[in-house]
Structure 1
Amino acid sequence: MQLLHVLNLSDNHILTLSKELRSDLESIVSSRNNITLTVDLTKNVISCSCDNLEVLEWILEHTLPTSSLLILKLSTCYYTHNASTTLAYPVLIRNKADLLFQVTFLQKLCTSYTPVLISLVVLLFFIFNIIIGAIIHRFRWKIRYWYYIGNNREFGRNGYTSIEGSLRFQRFKYDIYLAYEEDAREFVLETLRPKLEEQEYVVFVLDDILEGLPLCNVLTKSIHSSRLVVFVLSNGSRESLEWTIAAHMTNEESTHRGKSISLAMFYDSNSTLGLPENLQLLRHDAFIDYPINGSEDELSAFYEDFKAKVSGIITTTV
């Protein structure tokens, strides 16, 4: 169609222009030298809608005044997507400025909210994960406690092992669990533990854990199976994994039983730093000072007092 100058499509029922038609019209003018092609679309029902926005933008580009050799004429535009619009129906297009106004209006009206919705969903997901992470972090020791207790088949229906034999208390495997720092290890193993065993208490210490066993599982099980946990507080670091697990699991076990099962012994220390807050707030009679440089009489008095405190807690443990 090299000689085509005017394509009269006026007074029809054209709603839109296909992409193929638009491409064909542009191909005609591009294949000729400085010959214009005018397409008359007046008196049609061209749709003014979001679905047809691309076509309207294309018509605007080729509406006079334009530098293009392809010229389109448009007289009306119908808002077919929204019958409740306050704009006239149909909208008259008298010049390029009128068409520009309608295109600009539709561009604002038809702005896609998909990126906004995606961003909002991502933000909500991020916030949700932060909240879940904070909750998990807040209750991480409680979650660990119930995980190891719930998955330990050795515990009975009520969570405790029933042990037959020579143990003084059948519902607990140990009478006392001793938690200590490295610098108090010698004192615990060579002095304190033998003294307690002389009084027929069944004692568990960190050194009883066999190498290669899962530490958190073993400590949780041992504390759960003990009537009393004694923290030997010295000047050593309380940031070790063993100490942290023992302290937190004791706190969870106390909550589970509904009573304190802790006793703190100050051995070369007078600070509770490093203990969980609930253990730092132990009642006054749950603390006892070891006379590290005391006389024989002071040591005897200490062990009598210590025995009384241990017995007081153990005998009330159900």
Structure 2
Amino acid sequence: MSFLNVLNLSENRIYTLSNNLRSDLDDIVTSRNNDTLTVDLSKNVIACSCDNLEVLEWILEHTAPTSNLLSVKISTCYYIHNISALPSPTVIWTKNDLAYQITFLQKFCTSYSSLLITLVVILFVVVNIIVASLIHRFRWKIRYWYYVGHSNDTTSNDYTALDNSLRFSRFKYDIYLAYEEDAREFVFETLKPKLLEFEYVVFVHDDILDGLPLCNVLTKSIHASRVVVFILSNGSRQSLEWKIAAHITNEESNYRGKPISLAMFYNSDSTQGLPENLQLLRHDAFIDYPINGSDGEITAFWEDLKTKVHAIDKTAL
């Protein structure tokens, strides 16, 4: 290599130069005593691309006129960005021609990188929006399966279901009562005592001890109840307890493949805030409490309530 003056690599379909090759050529020249080495890369397919920009800058540094003892010649470079078309050759006559192409590529590659980064950021944001939308849309289903999936974990207050499978197990509660604060007196002084008199096992959210996770306890309690009764009063039906009961009852009905809820009109005739399957206004899923009714009407109400609860409980899964 000490007497090598020209390295002819022309017409070899070379499109790039590896780091090792460039380093070796520089080392050869450095090890010699002021002898120049010319590398002829003319009539090759040197790529004018972002991936090859570092190679082109190295060639420019060693293109005559240059103070380097290593001189590199190229005659064309090929643009290959448009993969749907054949590579487009650009003739390189002078060092300025090559410098112009490199300047163009530097600007293009910078904008290209910015575009890629922008697209990645946009894609990331879009994916996150889609994921967030799906999570929001199915948030109650996700909560339902999360809490029900842990239904074997018995707490110290024994609020969990008896078994994971409702199809082959007894329920822990006969009736779950969902109500707003304005109906609390009716629930505790009239409704719940009467249901207990009928030997129903009743769950109300006021039974939950302070400090227990509300959504967890209510979900498992509905999962372990035969029937959910919604007391329709003049309350806003915007409390957290009501919302949880409405959404989880809907998910539980879907899971069992049958309706499990009953709506009791106490002092309101609005169905706002009820689970979706109850808002379809099934005739057998509603019952009116006769606030100012006679003894006979009150008695008939309790019998009708027992009949409706029994009908829901015995509906085939």
The answer to whether the superposition gives a TM-score over 0.5 is yes
Q: 2:148·2:220 contact (CA, 8 Å) conserved in 1?
A: yes
Q: Amino acid of the residue matched to residue 257 of structure 1?
A: R
Q: Amino acid of the residue matched to residue 75 of structure 2?
A: Y
Deviation at residue 205 of structure 1 after TM alignment: 1.1
Deviation at residue 161 of structure 1 after TM alignment: 9.1
- Take 2:88 and 2:136, find their aligned partners in 1: how far apart are those partners? 53
Q: What is aligned with 1:183? A: 182
- State yes or no: 1:235 paired with 2:230: no
Q: Amino acid of the residue matched to residue 114 of structure 2?
A: P
Q: Using a 3 Å threshold, how does the CA distance of structure 1 residues 110 and 52 change in structure 2: closer, same or farther?
A: farther
Deviation at residue 215 of structure 1 after TM alignment: 0.9
Deviation at residue 118 of structure 1 after TM alignment: 1.9
Q: Amino acid of the residue matched to residue 216 of structure 2?
A: N
Instruction: Work out which of the residue numbers 73, 76, 81 in structure 2 matches 1:79.
Output: 76
Instruction: Work out which of the residue numbers 158, 174, 179 in structure 1 matches 2:165.
Output: 158
- Take 1:199 and 1:141, find their aligned partners in 2: how far apart are those partners? 33
SS at match of 1:268: coil
Q: Using a 3 Å threshold, how does the CA distance of structure 1 residues 56 and 189 change in structure 2: closer, same or farther?
A: same
Q: Using a 3 Å threshold, how does the CA distance of structure 1 residues 112 and 57 change in structure 2: closer, same or farther?
A: farther
Deviation at residue 110 of structure 1 after TM alignment: 5.1
- Take 1:310 and 1:248, find their aligned partners in 2: how far apart are those partners? 20
- Take 2:193 and 2:141, find their aligned partners in 1: how far apart are those partners? 33
Q: 1:161·1:173 contact (CA, 8 Å) conserved in 2?
A: no
- Take 1:279 and 1:129, find their aligned partners in 2: how far apart are those partners? 33
- Take 2:227 and 2:256, find their aligned partners in 1: how far apart are those partners? 12
Q: What is aligned with 1:292? A: 291
Q: 1:48·1:77 contact (CA, 8 Å) conserved in 2?
A: no
* Number of aligned residue pairs: 265
Deviation at residue 251 of structure 1 after TM alignment: 0.8
Deviation at residue 128 of structure 1 after TM alignment: 1.1
Q: What is aligned with 1:123? A: 122
Q: What is aligned with 1:166? A: none
Q: What is aligned with 2:302? A: 303
Q: What is aligned with 2:93? A: 92
RMSD: 3.8
Deviations 1:97-133 (A, max 9, x none): x677655655566556222222212211111111111
Q: 2:151·2:164 contact (CA, 8 Å) conserved in 1?
A: no
Gaps of 5+ in 2: 8-22, 24-38, 66-72, 81-86, 155-161
Which runs of structure 2 are paired with 1:40-59 in the superposition (5 Å)? Answer: 49=48, 50-51=53-54
SS at match of 1:176: strand
Q: 1:272·1:280 contact (CA, 8 Å) conserved in 2?
A: yes
The share of aligned pairs that are identical, in percent, is 62
SS at match of 2:177: strand
Q: Amino acid of the residue matched to residue 128 of structure 2?
A: N
Gaps of 5+ in 1: 1-10, 19-42, 64-75, 163-170
Q: 1:223·1:250 contact (CA, 8 Å) conserved in 2?
A: yes
Deviation at residue 183 of structure 1 after TM alignment: 0.5
- Take 1:48 and 1:158, find their aligned partners in 2: how far apart are those partners? 66
- Take 1:143 and 1:102, find their aligned partners in 2: how far apart are those partners? 56
Q: Highest Rg: 1 or 2?
A: 1
Q: What is aligned with 1:222? A: 221
Q: Using a 3 Å threshold, how does the CA distance of structure 1 residues 78 and 107 change in structure 2: closer, same or farther?
A: farther
